[in-house]
Structure 1
């Protein structure tokens, strides 16, 4: 029965959707639909059973390299059972973990939760109330258990900064890690996936009003454009929020300490410094 050969485990807001789309575009590589099954992390999904999970990979052609991408797998401590469940079912999957400047990631995480209606406070209050904004960016803390479980040789850490600067090279690096025997080609059509540039705040039944084509047609017909623009502006985050200096300094201290652990885990990976502009490189 089909099971994944590799899993993109995170981190959230670090380009996992883009990488998954690029891999899915290569012949001989299969990615699940949905892209994020969250099988091992979410109790309600895990309750569907192993056969349900295997069925996600059944459309893959014989010989395909099979993968999935679920950022919930590196959302510790929210999902503590993700790795133990994975170990019970998978022997030695390849693990891919994307990182980026953790301060920038934390701000993007806040924006995402604000647009989804999960966080309604300003950014300073949100960071005080939601420790996950910080913990999900402690990359060494999140990925170390996977190294201990499956071995460093089966874990590849990448950074979004390098993927943006050298996309083809990074894709080739990933495919080499997966044992892909063809030359992959980076597709600009899949270069930016799951980017919420408009930062429009969702609300209950948002999909019914804005995701429904009938409702959208009625809205365009009955509501003047000026009113629609005004309502949209009220739901839109006008500017990217800035972290207060004291919070930024505190985060940099926390993340610099985590980076020391990350460097100990990957001592030969000088390129990881690209995600830590606030840490001296020398």
Structure 2
């Protein structure tokens, strides 16, 4: 395979990877594919017809429509990288999908990798809120968690593996089986939030690129919201013939402005997770925090069992 990336931002989901990718994409020595998450090494040769809460067509549209699953398409995504020192693939499925580490190692054994980890309950709730935002989660949080095992058994995709995605230790261990520890930089979301520029420069040094460049960090990556009107949200974000007709009539600049304005009006902040429910869910991950500290040989600023 030609044009294989030499850097992979492997996840985890809802841990600040979009912000990191946005900041790195500004660096003159870095080239990203046009769409942040090509997902090739997670989804190649995989069956993408997973069941879910929507029709098969809409499940595919929301989860997989921008993913690249053929070698030719993936190579083409990096065909314009030129002499960029770093060719970057930021696909958050990579950390969780069991076969990905071995696949990347086969094609890019010398690659640099970065994983970003977030306190698991906060990550889980952010992921749930994103699914509610995309109208792919019809259940309350507690009902969704109670249904996780049955959904997984029924073949539902990773988007509904809420607790499983937060068990980072076994996911990282798969990468340590195929890569030297020096190749994988593990960052905590807490450090990214509290010290974004310092964390960015640390990433640059890991990648072997100049750490004197300062990106614009004024905007955060994907911030979850909830739609006030489900019907308007579907019109804005789902395939819709009337919206396509409007887009064909008006200049792209105008249609973009209209859709952005309507989205801002329709979106509202997600409710905060109650402290009592957070504490209840944290008990699911007490052992995980201890195992993660052992693996990474560092303190994890999350919770511990009493």
TM-score tier (shorter): 0.7 to 0.9
Change (3 A) 1:97 1:210: farther
Match of 2:225 in 1: 197
Structure 2 CA distance, aligned partners of 1:4 and 1:241?
38
Cα separation, 1, equivalents of 2:275 and 2:195: 32
Alpha-carbon deviations, 1:151-205, whole Å to 9, x = none? Answer: 211111112221121111000000000011351213124x312223345655487
**Cα RMSD over matched residues?**
3.1
Q: Show the counterpart of 1:136.
A: 165
Aligned match of 1:181 in 210, 231, 234? 210
CA shift at 1:114, angstroms?
Answer: 1.3
Map Cα deviations across residues 71-112 of structure 1 (whole Å, 9 max, x no partner). Answer: 11123xxx3332232222221211111111211111111111
Counterpart in the other structure of 2:3: 2
Q: Structure 2 CA distance, aligned partners of 1:210 and 1:163?
A: 41
Return the alpha-carbon distance in structure 1 between the equivalents of residues 268 and 196 of structure 2: 30
**C-alpha separation between the residues in 1 aligned to 2:243 and 2:129?**
21
3-state DSSP class of the match of 2:199? Answer: helix
**SS of equivalent residue, structure 1 residue 121:** coil
Contact 1:134 1:251 in 2 (8 A): no
- 5 Å-filtered alignment, 1:20-39, equals 20-39=21-40
TM-score where L is the length of structure 2: 0.74
Deviation at 1:258, TM superposition (A): 1.0
Counterpart among 217, 224, 246 of residue 214 in structure 1: 246
Correspondence 1:252 to 2:253? no
Contact 1:30/1:60, CA 8 A, preserved across alignment: yes
1:88 aligns with: 106
The answer to whether the 8 Å contact 2:129/2:225 transfers is no
**Alpha-carbon spacing, 1:257–1:53, altered in 2? closer, same or farther (3 Å):** same
Q: 2:130 matched to 1:101?
A: no
Specify the alignment match of 1:121 in structure 2.
139
Question: TM-score, structure 1 length as denominator?
Answer: 0.79
Greater CA drift, 29-38 or 251-260: 251-260
Please list, as runs of the form range in 1=range in 2, the aligned pairs for 1:39-58 lying within 5 A after superposition: 39-42=40-43, 43=46, 47-49=69-71, 51-58=72-79
Using a 3 Å threshold, how does the CA distance of structure 1 residues 197 and 214 change in structure 2: closer, same or farther?
same
Determine the structure 1 residue equivalent to 2:273. 242
Distance in 2 (CA, whole Å) between partners of 1:207 and 1:196 is 21
Alignment of 1:263-282 (within 5 A): 263-267=293-297, 269-270=298-299, 272-273=300-301, 276=302, 278-279=303-304
* 2:54 match: none
**Contact 1:168/1:185, CA 8 A, preserved across alignment:** yes
Unaligned ranges ≥5, structure 1:
219-228
Residue 265 of structure 1, CA deviation: 1.5
Would the alpha carbon gap of residues 210 and 100 (structure 1) be closer, same or farther in structure 2, given more than 3 Å must change?
A: farther
Q: Give 3-state SS (helix, strand or coil) of 2:128's partner.
A: helix
Structure 1 counterpart SS, 2:28: coil
